[in-house]
Amino acid sequence: MKYTTLPGTDISVSKICLGTMTWGEQNTEAEGHEQMDYALAQGVNFFDTAELYPVPARKETQGATEKIIGSWFKKNGNRDKVILASKVAGPGYSNKHIRQTGFAKEAIYEAVHASLQRLQTDYIDLYQLHWPERNTNFFGRRSYVHEKKEVWEDNFGEILGTLRELIKEGKIRHVGVSNETPYGVMRFLEESRKHDLPKMITVQNPYSLLNRVYETGLAEISMREHIGLLPYSPLAFGVLSGKYLSARPENARVTLFPNFNRYSNARATEATRSYVALAEKNGLSPAQMALAFINRQPFVTSTIIGATSMPQLKENVDSIYMELNEELVKEINAIHEQFPNPAP
């Protein structure tokens, strides 16, 4: 395994991060435990979860993923071997069953305490805001449209103040954002500098061969401000493995949940065919090639991989050992020029 540190800290994390959002929906507790056992044995010491998980978000299953992780910690007594990340859900259509009080102080405290209880731990190493409170172009919204009647008021400083209290109490160690824009990241940085508040050290956003929007503005922020990307959906819901090109595999995510189709439009499918053909021409696994491209980016701290089966997990973890030569990278970029960011 390869390792780096969370930006601005001495916390060593694997360059592969284990994603968990299928546990409790597509995966059972036993399967989640098996994945964690294998990942840790392979040197993966960084796990990511959220109070919202599993997905699709439902009242009946909310929190099940954290409970699975918590039962694994209790069974093995190995909390100290894992760098654990979780998230507080912002106000959104998919979490009305959790709360609708946004990132108010009491909401963040409620979320942290509930997560700690489910995870059966005293602290969370990296605590992230799952998406912005304000109306913006995140998670599939390609363009920003300003809403004049927006009720949100600037509260970046207040949020960081609450997170500072939780850090002082030892319940969280560091903080990050998810599904955030350049504006949001820079506003958090501005508040942390002006008022000596905690710095957001990571951004968890989508990033894959079908969605390289992060490179447009946020990559420069990552490099200049030392904020690492934790890319999620690096295989675009599994689409970049090529498994959906000929049929819809039984029990696969997009098969089970057809509304998860952001990477399945006609242009994205054309691009996927090109990437898969390129991988096969070079004798490579399409999934590993797609992940290896993400792993090599200098602004990426750790790539979040997720799997519903052990063969998928093994293939994804092993992507860390694949090195892409410059000629292959040029060919990947040529496909990107032909199909620039076909998925939002």
> Do the beta carbons of residue 218 and residue 188 sit within 8 Å?
no
Return the closest-CA partner of residue 172 out of 109, 227, 228.
109
Return the closest-CA partner of residue 343 out of 278, 225, 219, 254.
254
Question: What would the DSSP string read from start to end of 106-164?
Answer: HHHHHHHHHHHHHHT-S-EEEEEE-S-SS--S-TT--S----TT------HHHHHHHHH
- Mark the ranges of the chain whose per-residue pLDDT is less than 50: none
Which CATH number is associated with domain 3-338? 3.20.20.100
Q: How far apart are CA 120 and CA 115, in angstroms?
A: 8
pLDDT of residue 255: 62
Q: Is 109 a catalytic residue?
A: no
pLDDT of residue 251: 66
pLDDT of residue 94: 60
Q: Where are the domains of the chain?
A: 3-338
Tokens for 39, please give them: 């990942």
Tokens for 279, please give them: 């991988």
Note the pLDDT tens digit of each residue in 112-121. 999 999 999 9
Residue tagged active-site, from 3, 53, 207, 321: 53
Q: How far apart are CA 98 and CA 92, in angstroms?
A: 10
pLDDT of residue 261: 80
Note the pLDDT tens digit of each residue in 3-51. 999 999 999 999 999 999 999 999 999 999 999 999 999 999 999 999 9
- Those residues whose C-beta lies under 8 Å from the C-beta of residue 129, and which sit 6 or more positions away, are 87, 88, 90, 103, 159, 175, 176, 177, 178, 180
Q: How far apart are CA 272 and CA 292, in angstroms?
A: 16
How many CB atoms sit inside 10 A of residue 72's CB?
24
DSSP 3-state of 211: strand
